[in-house]
Structure 1
Amino acid sequence: MIRPRLIFIAFAAALAVAPAAGAAAPPERLVVLLERERSDAATAVAARAGVRPDGPRAPQIGLVTVTPRPGETMAQAARRLRADPAVASVEPEGRMRLRYVPNDPALSAPELSPRTPGGTTQEWWASPMGLPAAWDVTRGGGALVAVIDTGADGSHPELAGKIRDAVDLDETFGAGPATTDEHGHGTHVASLACARADNRIAIAGAGLNCGLLIIKSDLSDSSVATGIVEAVDRGADAINMSFGSEAGRGSAALRRAIDYAVGKKVVLVAAASDGVLVNGDLRPVAEQGYPSNVLQPTGTGASLNVGRGLSVTAATAAGTRASYAGYGSQISLAAYGAFGADGGPAGLLGAFPLEKTELESGDHPCKCRTKINGDARYAYLEGTSMAAPLVTAVAALVRDLNPDLSLQESLRVMKQTARRPGAGWAPDLGWGILDAGAALQAAKAMDRTKPVSRLRITRRSSGGRRLTVTVTGSDRGPKGVVSSGVARYDIFRSLPGRAARKVATTTTGAAVQVSAPAGGASFFSVAVDRAGNREVKPAKADARVG
């Protein structure tokens, strides 16, 4: 939900400098720490191990870097060094890298609105919400965000090449296809989620390289319900709904569509209420209306594991709830939706179509426009409508990075990693303000992939009753997720007409002795990783005898 504000400011966008490319790969080295912090010890240790000091050294802390002698591996050199009593530790040298920062100027260009605090950038919400840290984990190229809204201007430079699919379910907002937006709301929302990054133009979307599925809707129950189903069937990771009613729980059709998305593990995100108008002022309310109150029903916000999606309220740059934004037990968490200070930018900067548009009922055009390098296709808007797509985009990054997570795990990781001054849930911001970097780091460490293994018989005794078996296996999860590694292999034996029973366990897969009765037996292995994931029992035995 949205609140336009008036602003007449043109910006001069600063261009980011691209990092140098084509540099030679650094040498592989070992970092050695000595037991004694003496400058003469390093030379002696290197001579005894037959390695060459190479690179920085800091005798004050006993540090020296070395390279192996020609023709040998790092592991061979490390073994000799570790055998020296003068050596405290030996490690392969790691190498860090510069934090990724897209070249979109709004990330660094100063915000020039009147009475803006010094150091405020045009995309002021990116850094405090942890987006650069999230982009270091994943750039989101495989993520797909569905935006059910008023369409989106597909010709806008921030959306060009980002719309992977579009569906028109609108009979009210305009006669154009889904890639047009006579209203403006949908274009702004879509850009906050997935505006094109690294194009040296204005903003970068929260989901960086994510793709968009634009569903133009007239916001009727049937249109929204159909839009949800279309989004699920077309592969959306998360669905944004920056709209809602004042009360009620929606139609049975809408609730069934939400059930359909939940069953397919798609994250649903809805904007909380932007309040009700009382004597000309917007007053916050505890009833968020549907679909928000269907995703986070009354009384469930404080329950970490309860909810069918995320109901999002708006926070200010100061970390407080926006004065008009919804609160209470139907709130899951918050994201930035208003600057909130007396002065400063009039909301979040995003893409906006050129056509005359209406953001609220009536015939008044949007008075929220601004220019970026002379381009008037931008606007400042504030509201829970602007907060929701930031959450949706990050949810899509989580789902794309670690598709093995259950829906509840995806929702929980977003809530558990949110930032707030105190721990736990509170009515104003729910579980806190979204921290994208923390959410992605947590999802990266959640190994939910089952390991795999295979057993082989490598030797039989002369009588055939004693067997030696070995097991090989692996624990590989989705790219970018840290696998916990195989903890053990359970070895099972099945006799004719009997259920399989575990007969041995090995932690390394090394040779294990098992017996085979005269009537024959079948054998298979089941791997278990350190996260507790257990391999599914194979449909066929790995090996048989007799």
Structure 2
Amino acid sequence: MMVRRVLPTVVAGLVLAASAGPANAAPTGRLVVLGEPGAAAAVRAGAAAAGERRAGPDVPQIGLVTVRPRRGESLAHAARRIAARPGVTHVETERRMRLRALPNDPALATTDPVAGTLTSQLPSGTPQQWTPQREGFPGAWDVTKGATALVGVIDTGVDASHPDLQGKLAQLVDQQQPAGLRGPAGVDEEGHGTHVASLACAATGNGIGIAGAGHDCRLVIEKTDLSDASIAASIVDATDRGVHAINMSFGADGTRPASVAIKRAVRYAAHRDVVLVAAAADEPVREQGDPSNLLQPTGTGPDLDAGVGLSVTAATYADERASFAGFGSQISLAAYGAAGIAGSAPPGIVGAFPSGLTRFEQGTRPCGCRTSVGGDTRYGYLAGTSMAAPQVAAAAALVRTLNPDLPGREVVRLLKRTASRPAGAGWSADLGWGILDAGRALASARTIDRGRPVSQLSAAPGARAGTVSLRWTANDPAPEGVLASGVRTVEVVAVRLPDRRVQRRTLRAGQQTTTFRGDPGARYAFFTLARDRAGNEERRPARADAVVRAPS
């Protein structure tokens, strides 16, 4: 359910399932080298002679030696080189396996009470919270649990006392005009904000309630009155507080031009690499209204590279667009926001509810959406694009924290590119680029190297007139969990002083020494520029690594 500027009546709705797929084994950065049993000493001697570094156990009973490649050398290159060495029978990249585990939140394992009944769209045995597994989150959690991820939620506040949000609230900010209009940010009279925030970052693995999509992520709650200025202030404030993604489960109807204030706020956040996520319309219309249509403007949905954020529509358990959800060229992708067709049971996605009576439960047509999870009645079913969007925002925050070198727009593209869709299918008006697949997104993010390599050079006068002996190291650092592509080449740069005549020489990464021949008695400044296999180039240093006079 997407909240409009005037909060609408909400479609109630249900939830989810889960068992983990196989965990991806993470590479350790080492190579396991095998010779014939009893030949470990010979294999070890060969490794030492080649400049490889011992980096783990030796198991002579099976001829095993563990090494790291030479500095600046990729694992693949080192493996090929070592495999050709006499006495080596096999070389493999070492993995580190993971414990097979799923969070113990009750909703992941408890069968939904109406699943399999005549009125339900859910098969028998479907868990109460079925969305995480179908969106690949167990696989994403095998890669990262998002301990440093921060998600901004601009909404109706949050019930700060909810047990599934304990320890998850980094900041509570009241952006209402006037302040406290409907209570402080830690109070949620509507229920919408609590539900949305929990889908993004509810405490996961705490044995309580539901699992948040972002596992260990934390929340910056911006309580808004849904006015243009309040929304703009919320976007900017959340950005300044360092969030990785912002969720906006609200919108206008598109009959008026988008607010210039909100346009500026969106640009402000996007330029600072915040991933912006907005819920599409909760009506089957092509115009999604702002802020959704600012993130994915009309006509740009089919372009994988277009847009500054993600406009998210709602999918059902049957992997179809929900009957109430927006469609068309302003849609980026989908996430689950309903169990089935309107009027079926359960009515939506399960999430946290405030302890007090919410607006959805009052009036002449109360929703009947409150439910119990593990005996706790502070949960409810809501359906809508509002429920789909925070799951996407959480996935974006996981990607950003795993691979902080990825710009926000590349994260947007990655989430669209890795969305689940039929083989060979591209963008569609109903589901955009497909249904969120967080596992594929994180697996892909691990392999993208956007970090620059680094190198360091030292120099000394050579043994002959005009020569200088050069030695350097180069490596390709990467954030933990991201696979570095490895240094491909190192460019040695010599600058004659004072006329600044430049000489350059590009060498393969495995080479770490060379002799430079210059003019006898001349002074030279030296530095190196490394390039990795992903095409990233080291920044030119502010000063030379070494200044040496060539011997006369």
TM range, smaller chain = 0.7 to 0.9
- The offset of 1:460, in angstroms, is 1.1
Corresponding residue SS for 1:456: strand
**1:427 partner letter:** A
Name the amino acid aligned to 1:415: K
Given the superposition, is the C-alpha separation of residues 49 and 146 from structure 1 closer, same or farther in structure 2, using an over 3 Å criterion?
A: closer
Q: Give a deviation string over 1:498-519, Cα, whole Å, max 9, x none.
A: 3534134242242212123233
- Please state how far the C-alpha of 1:6 moved relative to its aligned partner: 6.1
Identity between Structure 1 and Structure 2 (%): 51
* 2:544 counterpart of 1:536: no
**CA, structure 1 residues 118+405, in 2 after alignment: closer, same or farther (shift >3 Å)?**
same
Partner of residue 461, structure 1: 463
Residue 160 of structure 2 corresponds to which residue in structure 1? 154
Note the C-alpha offset of 1:360.
10
Question: Does 1:448 pair with 2:450?
Answer: yes
Q: Could you report, residue by residue, the CA deviation over 1:78-118 in whole angstroms, capped at 9, with x for unpaired residues?
A: 9899745xx85354775533333111121122111252412
**Which residue of 43, 60, 67 maps to 1:68?**
60
Give me the whole-angstrom Cα distance separating, in 2, the residues matched to 1:258 and 1:150. Answer: 20
1:424–1:501 distance in 2 versus 1, CA, 3 Å: farther
The answer to whether residue 211 in structure 2 is matched with residue 204 in structure 1 is yes
Superposed CA offset, 1:180-208 (max 9, x none): 10110000000000000111112110000
Where does residue 494 of structure 1 map in the other structure? Answer: 495
Deviation, 1:457, is: 1.3
**Cα RMSD between the aligned structures?**
3.2
Matches within 5 A, 1:193-272: 193-247=200-254, 248-272=256-280
Shift of 1:74: 4.4
- Aligned counterpart, 1:22: none
Give the whole-Å Cα distance in 2 for the aligned partners of 1:313 and 1:532: 36
TM-score (norm 1): 0.84
Change (3 A) 1:307 1:94: closer
Residues 1:384 and 2:379 aligned together: no
Aligned residue-pair number: 496
The Cα offsets for residues 220-267 of structure 1, whole Å up to 9 and x where unpaired, read as 000000000000000110000000011134211110011100110101
Alignment pair present for 1:521 and 2:524: yes
User: Structure 1 pair 510/269, CA: closer, same or farther in 2 (3 Å)?
Assistant: same
Q: Distance in 2 between matches of 1:228 and 1:156?
A: 25
- Equivalent position SS for 2:399: helix
Task: Name whichever of 172-181 and 445-454 sits farther off.
Answer: 172-181
**One-letter amino acid matched to 2:274:** V
TM-score (norm 2): 0.83
Deviation for aligned residue 1:456 = 1.0
Instruction: Describe the shift of the 1:523–1:71 C-alpha distance in structure 2 as closer, same or farther (beyond 3 A).
Output: same
Residue 509 of structure 2 corresponds to residue 507 of structure 1: yes
- Please say if residues 177 and 230 of structure 2, whose CA atoms lie closer than 8 Å, have aligned partners that are also in contact: no
Give the conservation status (yes or no) of the 8 Å contact 1:356–1:365: no
Asked whether the 8 Å contact 2:527–2:545 carries over to 1, the reply is yes
SS in 2 for 1:178: coil
Q: 1:129 aligns with which of 108, 132, 135?
A: 135
Mind listing any 5+ residue stretches in structure 1 that lack a counterpart? 17-27, 34-44, 52-65, 276-283
The secondary structure found in structure 2 opposite 1:98 is coil
| Structure 1 residue 417: Cα displacement | 0.2
1:265-414 maps to which residues of 2 (within 5 A)?
265-275=273-283, 284-340=284-340, 343-359=344-360, 365-414=366-415
Amino acid at match of 1:310: L
Contact persistence 2:361–2:369 (CA under 8 A): no
The secondary structure found in structure 2 opposite 1:126 is helix
**Please, which runs of 5 or more residues in structure 2 have no aligned partner?**
3-8, 20-29, 43-57, 69-78
Contact 1:486 1:530 survives alignment (8 Å): yes
Give the distance between the partners of 1:449 and 1:412, measured in 2 at CA. Answer: 18
SS of alignment partner, residue 193 of structure 1: helix
Give, in whole Å, the separation in 2 of the partners of 1:31 and 1:507: 21
Determine if contact 1:147/1:190 at 8 Å carries over to the other structure: yes
Contact 1:504–1:514 under 8 Å retained in 2: no
- Contact 1:165-1:213 at 8 Å conserved across structures: yes
- Residues 81 and 326 from structure 1, CA distance in 2 versus in 1: closer, same or farther, beyond 3 angstroms? closer
Aligned to 1:138: 144
Partner of 1:423: 425
Q: Which amino acid in the other structure matches residue 449 of structure 2?
A: D
**Alpha-carbon distance between aligned partners in 2 of 1:180 and 1:125, rounded to the nearest angstrom:** 27
CA distance in 2 between counterparts of 1:181 and 1:156 reads 11
C-alpha offsets along residues 492-543 of structure 1, whole Å, 9 cap, x if unaligned?
A: 1112233534134242242212123233211110000111100011111111
Distance of aligned partners of 1:312 and 1:499 in 2 relative to their CA distance in 1, 3 Å threshold: farther
1:183 is the counterpart of 2:190: yes
Letter in 2 for 1:158: D
Question: Secondary structure of the residue that 2:133 maps to in structure 1?
Answer: coil
